[in-house]
């Protein structure tokens, strides 16, 4: 069961990477005044790359949903961070730029930390969360999203892209928890699912997250928005998995020490990726 979830999550990560690269390539050319406004999506509808990115996202969401139905929320969302390794080179290629050495080093740190964490933690699936747990998660998560949006600078630039990317990641982490909850409800039937609040909140927050992501891509370079987005998503999902779904990870002093070291490596890798700049030199031509 977990092996299937891992394969599905890695497939979703690859498609999300393609989604991010294509959507960013289209969104960075959109007028800044449309940021966080639904009219931004109308403008992007005229851009073929953005439409192609949305097609990839449909596949990614499908694979993520299937992975979450079978496996741990913490495991699936952690694996999605591998999308960084695909998205940054793809984004650089679409912009005819090359990645710096720092970005490659950051990517290696993320992969090493992720591989260590997943192999040591061995997260297990939990149970359905209570209404009180959801109220706590949605309240704290929503407050963090609002705080990041208020802190984001008004003008276009890397700082705005970073804050909007962080807010998007938190919202995506919440949405992942709701997707898993809806998967549990679907086990009892489609009409049973429609009698609960989770799918409706997911629809609203999903639309908000989609607009936030496009605004983050529009605001600045992909390395400014995607690393924090990719990190905030699994961190938020991990908190929800532990607090709401009561998921568990391997215990013991050695296991916890390895998990902390792996987390530190991932954070360091994301930090390096966030600070690194994509070199403006064009890619060498192939003859």
Q: What is the reported pLDDT for 276?
A: 64
Q: Does residue 284 lie in a domain region?
A: no
Q: What is the reported pLDDT for 90?
A: 86
The range of the structural domain enclosing residue 270 comes to: 2-275
* Nearest one of 71, 56, 75, 49 to 12, comparing CA atoms: 56
Q: What is the reported pLDDT for 169?
A: 94
Q: Which long-range contacts (CB under 8 A, 24 or more apart) does 29-34 make?
A: 30/214, 30/218, 32/155, 32/156, 32/218, 32/219, 34/218
Say which residues have a Cβ less than 8 Å from residue 38's Cβ, sequence separation at least 6: 211
Round to whole Å and give the CA distance between 65 and 180: 7
Q: Does residue 285 lie in a domain region?
A: no
Q: Per the structure block, which two tokens stand in for 240?
A: 């929800």
Q: What is the reported pLDDT for 126?
A: 64
Q: Does residue 170 lie in a domain region?
A: yes
Q: What is the reported pLDDT for 39?
A: 95
* Nearest one of 48, 141, 130 to 94, comparing CA atoms: 48
Q: Does residue 283 lie in a domain region?
A: no
Residue 99 neighbours by CB distance under 10 Å: 20
* Nearest one of 126, 125, 131, 127 to 196, comparing CA atoms: 131
Number of domains in the chain: 1
Q: Per the structure block, which two tokens stand in for 24?
A: 């960013």
Q: Does residue 113 lie in a domain region?
A: yes
Query: What are the tens digits of pLDDT across the range 92-121?
Result: 888 777 778 887 788 788 778 877 877 777
Q: Does residue 287 lie in a domain region?
A: no
Q: Does residue 282 lie in a domain region?
A: no
The tens-digit pLDDT sequence of the chain (287 residues) is 578 888 999 999 999 999 999 999 999 989 989 999 999 999 999 999 999 999 999 999 999 999 998 888 888 888 888 887 888 788 888 877 777 888 778 878 877 887 787 777 776 666 777 888 899 999 999 999 999 999 999 888 888 999 999 999 999 999 999 999 998 899 889 999 999 999 999 999 999 999 999 999 999 888 888 888 887 888 888 888 888 888 777 677 888 788 888 888 877 887 787 666 444 444 444 43
Query: What are the tens digits of pLDDT across the range 8-40?
Result: 999 999 999 999 999 999 999 899 899 999 999
Q: What is the reported pLDDT for 282?
A: 43
- CB distance 126 to 247 below 8 Å: yes
Identify the sign of the CA torsion 73, 128, 213, 21: positive
Q: Does residue 149 lie in a domain region?
A: yes
Q: Per the structure block, which two tokens stand in for 26?
A: 């289209």
- CB distance 60 to 12 below 8 Å: yes
* Nearest one of 159, 110, 115, 161 to 272, comparing CA atoms: 110
Q: Per the structure block, which two tokens stand in for 161?
A: 């892209």
């Amino acid at each position: 069961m977990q092996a299937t979830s891992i394969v599905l999550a890695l497939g979703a990560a690859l498609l999300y990477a393609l989604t991010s690269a294509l959507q960013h390539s289209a969104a960075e050319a959109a007028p800044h005044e449309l940021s966080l406004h639904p009219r931004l999506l109308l403008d992007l509808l005229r851009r073929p790359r953005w439409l192609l990115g949305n097609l990839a996202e449909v596949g990614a969401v499908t694979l993520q949903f299937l992975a979450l139905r079978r496996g741990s929320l913490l495991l699936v969302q952690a694996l999605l961070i591998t999308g960084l390794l695909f998205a940054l080179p793809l984004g650089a290629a679409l912009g005819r730029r090359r990645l710096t050495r720092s970005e490659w080093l950051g990517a290696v740190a993320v992969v090493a930390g992720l591989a260590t964490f997943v192999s040591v933690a061995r997260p297990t699936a939990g149970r359905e969360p209570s209404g009180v747990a959801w109220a706590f998660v949605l309240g704290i998560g929503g407050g963090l999203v609002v705080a990041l949006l208020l802190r984001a600078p008004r003008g276009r630039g890397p700082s705005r892209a970073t804050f909007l990317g962080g807010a998007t990641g938190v919202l995506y982490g919440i949405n992942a928890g709701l997707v898993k909850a809806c998967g549990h409800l679907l086990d009892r039937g489609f009409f049973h699912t429609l009698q609960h609040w989770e799918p409706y909140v997911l629809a609203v927050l999903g639309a908000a997250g989609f607009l936030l992501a496009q605004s983050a891509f529009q605001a600045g370079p992909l390395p400014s928005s995607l690393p924090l987005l990719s990190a905030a998503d699994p961190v938020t999902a991990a908190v929800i998995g532990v607090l709401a779904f009561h998921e568990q990870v391997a215990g013991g002093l050695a296991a916890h020490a390895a998990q902390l070291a792996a987390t530190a490596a991932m954070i360091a890798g994301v930090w390096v990726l966030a600070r690194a700049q994509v070199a403006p030199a064009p890619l060498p031509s192939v003859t």
